[in-house]
Amino acid sequence: MKSRFSFVFFIVLLITILVPVSASANESDYTVYINDKQLKTENAPITRDNAIYVPLWSVLGQLNMSAEDNNGVLKINHPYRILLIKSDQNMMTYFGRGMDEHNTRLDYPIISQDYVLYAPLTFLSEYLNMQIAYGENGRIDITAGDFSKDISWTTLSKNKYTIDTAAKKLYQDSVAESFWSNNPVLWNKNKLVGNVTLQEKYVQQTIVSYSGLTVTFVNSEKQYTVTFNSLETIANTFLLSDPLDNFTWSKDIKTLIRQGYARIGMTQEMAILSWGVPDDVNKSASKYLYSEQWVYKGSKFNNSYLYFDETGKITSIQN
């Protein structure tokens, strides 16, 4: 019994030695002081890409510096400028005291981790006028001025509109760039992509480059650049895959659908992929006959009609 206990104890001891204990999220090699006062925070500094990050809200709070959400963008009120930032994106817009607007890209953006925003020390020094000094044993000293100064100049109605507009644009540009980055290959829902008309829809569009809502594509036909006016327009323009891949229809049928044509004998599913969902549907039935009329309105179709029989196939087309 004693021998068995000794063996188990040895195994436990061996595992303890060989398997490193994970450091808690609050442990750090750095201790931060702001104006000689240790930073009060539940979130320790972290490192990423060889840069040191500190919890942003804790820093702003200790300096009595105001910040708020503005149209999904973080707005930081500095005595000499207003900064608009979206976390995990390198785009930033800021306004000087004279409301002169600047747009830049950060080498080290503000990041979010475990629902906490972290700012790189370079951001604090370059854009918030803080002095950073590195001491022994991981001590970091941040020296800052009085950031609780009057910033009422930012609340003027004309400035508020300008700031809100810039925040909305920054949010849209940031979300769009995330979409382009995560989906480098897309398929167009229609022939018209922005102001560019393509020969077919449901064709692979590969992203070449992008900046905000502006993106350059290349496909089997050509390379082109489009600037979209909203995120909703982007969502209504593209698919993440080719919808025709799910069907074993003939190549001829798929080509007609990509070109936006309807043909007698097509099914209702084919018709929807080619012409879209109809504006109106009229049904008529008798003892001997069933007919279904699909109505397409607007300048694109100029009141066109598809007629289906009881099997759900097109029997007649009226333009």
Q: What is the pLDDT of residues 176-229, one digit of tens each?
A: 999 999 999 999 999 999 999 999 999 999 999 999 999 999 999 899 999 999
Per the domain annotation, does 288 fall within a domain?
yes
Please tell me the predicted confidence (pLDDT) of residue 127.
Answer: 95
Q: Are residues 119 and 207 in the same domain?
A: no
Q: Are residues 136 and 262 in the same domain?
A: no
Helix (H, G, I), strand (E, B) or coil at 74: strand
CA distance 286 to 187: 42
Q: Are residues 48 and 122 in the same domain?
A: yes
Per the domain annotation, does 17 fall within a domain?
no
From the list 112, 130, 134, the residue with the least C-alpha distance to 60 is 130
Q: Are residues 35 and 173 in the same domain?
A: yes
Per the domain annotation, does 94 fall within a domain?
yes
Tell me what percent of the residues of the chain surpass a pLDDT of 90. Answer: 76
- For residue 23, pLDDT over 50 is answered with no
pLDDT band at 9; cut points 50, 70, 90: very low
Range of the domain at 210: 183-243
Total domains, the chain: 3
- Tell me the pTM: 0.81
Q: Are residues 72 and 172 in the same domain?
A: yes
- For residue 153, pLDDT over 80 is answered with no
Backbone angles phi, psi at 2, to 5 degrees: -65, -40
